[in-house]
Structure 1
Amino acid sequence: MKIFDTINIREADKTTITNQNITSYQLMERAGLEAFLWIKKHYPDKETTFHVFCGQGNNGGDGLVIARLLYEDGYPLKVDIVEEAGNPTPDHESALAAFTSTGAVHDENSEYEYEKGKLIYIDALFGIGLNREMPDSVKKVVDYINACEGQVLSIDVPSGMFMDRPTNFAVKSDILLTFMFPKLAFYLPGNCEYIRRIKILDIGLDKDFIKNYVSDYYLVSPAHANQIYHPIQPHAHKGTQGHALIIGGSYGKIGAVCLAAKAALKSGCGLVTAYIPKCGYNVMQTAFPEAMVLTDGDEYITKIGFDLQPKAIGIGPGIGQHLETQQAIKEFLSKVNVPLVIDADALNILSSNKEWLELLPENTILTPHPKELERLMGGWDTDFDKIEKMKVFTKQHNIILVAKDAHTMVVYKGSIFINTTGNAALATGGTGDTLTGIITGLLAQGYEAAHAAIFGVYLHGLTADVAISETSMQAFTAMDVVTYLGKAYLKIEAERRQK
């Protein structure tokens, strides 16, 4: 799903108005109706009270349309129009006239009663056009909303959030109902406190405009993941499913390479070989009997050499940063010519020897967490600055970055693919090792590198989404990623059949 910037969202609106021969107010009515229908479906209890905060711009107009439809449908309602929140627009005035024509009133001083657990605040103060700090009087309203005991629904964007620069103060939304397109700002680490859940509502904007728009940013939806997914063929056997080699481990860190190897096999590849130091041999053969094992060194890897011909290699989990290991990695990189995934201490070794980045095969996949990424390419001032630096870094070295975070981003040839699966259950040691294994396993099965990264991240996050109803976020461990890979695949298969 393409992510549009503010300028092109407005252009999509204008094109729709022209091509569908409607007015801008009719488009506002359409947006408000879609939001109302979603609200009515999810809050059918007519004893639910809605307190709607409207600005004076078009976002406030959307709020007034929603408020009018709630009033007409019999919901208890209070509406505040915050005069300092923007300047009145013609469509806002039309929405206000339609609202008052029903007999509904807006009065910020009126009192109302509600049942506990049946109060919903609707935030319609500011939309995507906000380009300045809010007045102090409006900030007080936002503080009030954020301190409330009811659920908060924001319309299109959480009020106060900027689309093109860092946000320091905004409404904290439980549910964001946004129109037509995801917005990049919603998925940046610095904005995570303002949005808990996002629902994208289709308001029928011009399809040709959307199809022809060229974007650098994409949201990885279930439909996108299904396009990438390769179902296993009925005639498959272990020789056709690919052979993955996982290189890693050191004394005390054999678990990392074991997790990666297990995840590679569970991702669907036919064979897995683990290349580890001798201290991990008994552990690997006992904990993961399906794997073949090659060894080197006693407590850490001192050289990397093998006769087999894997289809893909993952290197780094638990490998350590010993000097002999570093030299072994340099020699390995100078010779490797198969699809490659680099993680963990192998990334830190690259960060200390940045000239070795030139040794990487084209489309090598690097999977850093934020600190590893900072060591690799240097720091950044804002999330927007980080994105631009990632684009430059990947182009400079012809690689693919999997920048792990709450919304992991895959950066490939100047394009950003933002993942939509996963939750806080993944915030536990070892889950990064399983991601390395999954992506390596997909590469071994023949997925092209960018698709292996995008689908691997999606599949990895989906395991946590599937699991938490059974295990909880707190009790989820890295091994649960491996355990729930099968159920994640079943969910993808079910979605595929429903298409």
Structure 2
Amino acid sequence: MKIFSKEQIYKGDQITAKKQKISSTDLMERAGIQIFNWVHQRMQGAQVPIHVFCGIGNNGGDGLVVARHLIIYGYNVHTYVVNCSDKRTEDFLVNYDLIKQTTKKWPIMLNCEADFPAIGPDDIIVDAVFGIGLNRPPNEWVKGLFQYFRASKAFTLAIDLPSGLYPDKVPEDENGVVWADYTLSFQSPKLVFFLPQTSKYTMQWEALDIDIDPEFLQKTETEVELMGKLEMLPIYQPREKFSNKGTYGHALIIGGSYGKIGAVMLSGRAALASGSGLVTTFTPKCGYIPLQTAFPEAMTITDSDDEKITAIKFDIEPTVIAIGMGMGTHKDTHLALQEFLKGNTAPLVIDADALNILSKHKSDLKLLKPQTVLTPHPKELERLIGKWKDDFDKLKKAKAFSKKYKSILVIKGAHTITVFENKLYVNSTGNPGLATGGTGDVLTGIITGLICQGYEPLTASIFGVYLHGKSADIAVEDYGYQSLTASHVIDYMGKAFLNLFEKPQLPQVTNDNEEANKS
């Protein structure tokens, strides 16, 4: 799913109005009706007090449309205008007149804290104060209103974007933002829904189709995409009947040190579980017996040193190489990595200690071949690209790094973001159960296994991140967040692949009387 920028959203509205020969007011009516339909479908006429807070711009106009239709359908609606400026948009004024023609209960003007209405914890707040066009912090009394929303504990539904939240930067004061329980975003979600510093402002979101021009949606290239099942299905490569283990490549997993051989084992097992034809591990000598004993599917090569990697030499021709897991950062290991990078020609996935070594010796980054995949967690990323001011600055620095080294950055997190040059791919799967040791090693192995089969490195990164999260989502149903382990993610990889082709199950509707008669 494409995630459009603020400027693209405005352009899409203009093109839609022109092509469909409708006014901006008509488009606002369409959007407002979609919000109303969503609410009406869930409330079914329930007389819970609904407080609709409207700004004086187009987001406020959307709120007025919603309030008007709720009133027409007999809901218990209280409408307010947050009078934070003397300027009103034309579409707001049109809908302000329409609601006055619909009901004798005109919108109440709010000018200061003394005007705040009583709101109970069982009430509903509809936030339509500010939209995507906000370019400065709200007035102090408006901030107080947003804090009042939160203190009321009422269910808060935001229209398009929680008010006070910008679509393209982090707000300076969290008290100046509405903390929404649910956000109904027009046509597509906003990037801020997926970033660590800003996702907290909406617990859940949903994108509502408001019939923006299909050609614009299809042909407009976006900087950000949200990757879900629909985006994965065209990526999947089915297997040929007359194939063999050689058809799907040979992955070499390099890493490990004394006490950290498990990281290599997890990556190797994950490479096999994601479809690699063959896997060979390369570790210090101390890894030989553990790997031969606990990982019979893999072949094993060792360094001459017992406890650390000092020279990377092998007599196989791997399809792809993963390196860094549990490897340590000893100076001998650094020299081994440096010499390896100088001569390597295979596609490469770099993780963990190999990233830490490169962070300390940044001149070695120039040795990376194009489309090398790097899979840092937040601290590893910081060591690579430097400290950042906020999440948007982080993404800016990550894109600059990717362009400079022609590399693919997989920024691990709740919504892992794959970065390649100017493009961001936001993952939609995964859960807090992944916050446990070894899951990063598993992700590296999955990506490696996909490249091994012939997926391009960028495609393998995006697909691998999705499968990693989906496997955890399926496994967590059996184990819960606290008990999920990295090995469980590997064990459920098969179900993650199968899930790609499962149709969503519709809830069964039964006749209660009929069921009672059966019993």
Q: Decide: shared fold, TM above 0.5.
A: yes
TM superposition shift of 1:163:
2.4
Conservation of the 8 A alpha-carbon contact between 1:247 and 1:317:
yes
* Cα gap change, 1:75 to 1:266, in 2 (>3 Å): farther
> How many pairs align?
496
In 2, the alpha carbon distance for the partners of 1:422 and 1:472 equals 13
Q: Which runs of 5+ in 1 are unaligned?
A: none
Q: What is the CA-CA distance between 1:385 and the residue it aligns to? A: 2.2
Contact 2:52 2:67 in 1 (8 A): yes
User: Cα 1:41–1:272, aligned 2, differ >3 Å: closer, same or farther?
Assistant: farther
Measure the CA separation in 2 of the matches of 1:89 and 1:24: 11
> Residue 96 of structure 2 aligns with which residue?
96
Aligned residue number for residue 430 of structure 2: 422
Q: How far did 1:388 drift?
A: 2.1
Residue matched to 2:510: none
SS in 2 for 1:381: coil
- The residue type equivalent to 1:258 in the other structure is M
Please tell me whether residue 130 in structure 1 is matched to residue 137 in structure 2. Answer: no
- What corresponds to 1:396 in structure 2? 404
**8 Å Cα contact 1:85-1:134 kept in structure 2:** no
- 1:86/1:207 CA distance change after superposition, 3 Å: farther
Normalised TM-score (structure 1): 0.93
417-426 vs 311-320, which moves further = 417-426
The SS at the match of 1:363 is: coil
One-letter amino acid of the structure 1 residue matched with residue 432 of structure 2: A
Aligned counterparts of 1:140 and 1:113: Cα–Cα separation in 2: 14
Asked if the contact 2:192–2:199 (Cα under 8 Å) also holds between the matched residues in 1, the reply is no
The match for 2:243 is 236
Q: Secondary structure at the match of 1:371?
A: helix
> What is the deviation of 1:344?
0.2
1:165 pairs, out of 144, 169, 191, with: 169
Of 175, 185, 206, 1:199 maps to 206
Percent identical among aligned pairs is: 48
- What amino acid is the match of 1:226? L
1:2-401 to structure 2, matched below 5 A, reads 2-44=2-44, 46-84=46-84, 87-103=87-103, 105=105, 106-107=107-108, 119-168=123-172, 169=174, 170-296=177-303, 297-401=305-409
Deviation per residue, 1:222-270 (Å, 9 max, x gap):
2222222223333333222222111111112122111111111111222
The C-alpha deviation readout for 1:124-166, integer Å capped at 9, x for no partner, is 1100000011001110111012223232221111110112322
The counterpart of 2:487, out of the listed 479, 482, 488, is 479
Q: Answer with 283-292 or 201-210: which moved more.
A: 283-292
SS at match of 1:84: coil
Shift of 1:112: 7.5
> Which deviates more, 40-49 or 446-455?
40-49
Q: 1:446 to 1:111 in 2, by over 3 A?
A: same
Contact 1:368 1:404 in 2 (8 A): yes
Match of 1:453 among 458, 461, 477: 461
CA distance in 2, matches of 1:412, 1:252: 34
Q: CA deviation at 1:272?
A: 1.6
- Secondary structure of the residue that 2:2 maps to in structure 1? coil
Q: Secondary structure at the match of 1:272?
A: strand
After superposition, the Cα gap between the structure-2 partners of 1:247 and 1:496, relative to the gap in structure 1 and judged at 3 Å, is farther
Provide the rounded CA distance (Å) in 1 between the counterparts of 2:86 and 2:423.
34
Distance 1:7 1:479 in 2: 44
**Alpha-carbon separation, structure 2, partners of 1:96 and 1:489:** 52
**Distance verdict in 2 for CA 1:497–1:273, change over 3 Å:** farther
- Separation in structure 2 between the aligned mates of residue 110 and residue 444 of structure 1, nearest angstrom: 61
Shift of 1:209: 2.2
Q: Secondary structure at 2:276's aligned position in 1?
A: coil
- Counterpart amino acid of residue 2 in structure 1: K
State which drifts further: 74-83 or 238-247. 74-83
Query: CA offset at residue 474 of structure 1?
Result: 2.5
Q: In the alignment, is the contact (CA less than 8 A) between 1:65 and 1:95 conserved in 2?
A: yes
Aligned AA (2:466): Y
Aligned to 2:420: 412
Distance change in 2, residues 1:291/1:208 (3 Å): same
RMSD over equivalenced CA pairs, Å: 2.3
**Cα distance in 2 for residues equivalent to 1:86 and 1:77:** 25
User: For 2:496 and 2:425, how far apart are their aligned partners in 1?
Assistant: 20
Paired residue secondary structure (1:219): strand
Provide the rounded CA distance (Å) in 1 between the counterparts of 2:42 and 2:253.
46
Residue 496 (structure 1) shift: 11
Pick from 472, 476, 483: which aligns with 1:468? 476
- CA–CA separation in structure 2 for the residues paired with 1:113 and 1:393: 49
Instruction: State whether residues 85 and 138 of structure 1, in contact with CA within 8 Å, keep that contact through their aligned partners in structure 2.
Output: no
* Conserved 8 A contact 1:226-1:496: no
d(CA) in 2 for partners of 1:120, 1:413:
43
Q: Using a 3 Å threshold, how does the CA distance of structure 1 residues 46 and 469 change in structure 2: closer, same or farther?
A: farther
Q: Is the 8 A contact 2:71 2:103 kept in 1?
A: no
| CA deviation string 1:159-181 (max 9, x = no partner) | 10112322132111222111113
1:400, distance to aligned residue in structure 2 (A):
0.9
Query: 2:494 is paired with a residue of what secondary structure?
Result: helix
Amino acid at match of 1:139: K
Change (3 A) 1:429 1:49: farther
Q: Residue type matched to 1:253 in 2?
A: K
2:248 match: secondary structure:
coil
Q: 1:480 offset after TM fit, Å?
A: 2.2
Does the 8 Å contact 1:268/1:442 carry over to 2?
yes
Contact 2:119 2:152 in 1 (8 A): no
Structure-2 change in CA distance of 1:286 and 1:68 (3 Å): farther
Report the secondary structure of 1:472's partner residue.
helix
